[in-house]
Amino acid sequence: MYDFTFHGKLELMQYALELIRQQPEDVQDELLKTVFEGNCGYCRLQKPIHVVFRNNNIECLKFLIKDSPSGTAILEYADLGGGRTPAHYAAMYDPKGLAFVMRNAPSGVKVLEKADRYGQLPLDSQPEWLKQHYFNSHKVLQIGLESEYYRVK
pLDDT band at 20 (very low <50, low <70, confident <90, very high): very high
Across residues 102-120, what is the average pLDDT? 92
CB 64 within 8 A of CB 75: no
Across residues 14-42, what is the average pLDDT? 89
Instruction: Please report, to the nearest 10 degrees, the dihedral formed by the alpha carbons of residues 125, 128, 133, 138 taken in order.
Output: 70
**Is residue 49 scored above 80 in pLDDT?**
yes
Cβ contacts of 4-7, under 8 Å, gap ≥ 24: 4/48, 4/60, 5/48, 5/49, 5/51, 5/52, 5/55, 5/60, 5/64, 6/41, 6/51, 6/52, 6/54, 6/55, 7/55
C-alpha–C-alpha distance, residues 129 and 136, integer Å:
10
**Is residue 39 scored above 90 in pLDDT?**
no
CB 122 within 8 A of CB 76: no
Across residues 2-14, what is the average pLDDT? 89
List pLDDT tens digits, range 113-130.
999 999 999 988 777 777
List pLDDT tens digits, range 51-74.
888 888 889 999 999 999 999 999
pLDDT of residue 136: 74
Across residues 101-106, what is the average pLDDT? 92
**Coil vs helix vs strand at 40:** strand
**Is residue 147 scored above 80 in pLDDT?**
no
Amino acid sitting at position 54? R
**Coil vs helix vs strand at 46:** strand
CB 78 within 8 A of CB 84: yes
Dihedral over Cα of 141, 144, 148, 149: its sign = positive
pLDDT of residue 74: 94
Across residues 87-109, what is the average pLDDT? 90
CB 86 within 8 A of CB 93: no
Residues 6+ apart with CB under 8 A from 110: none
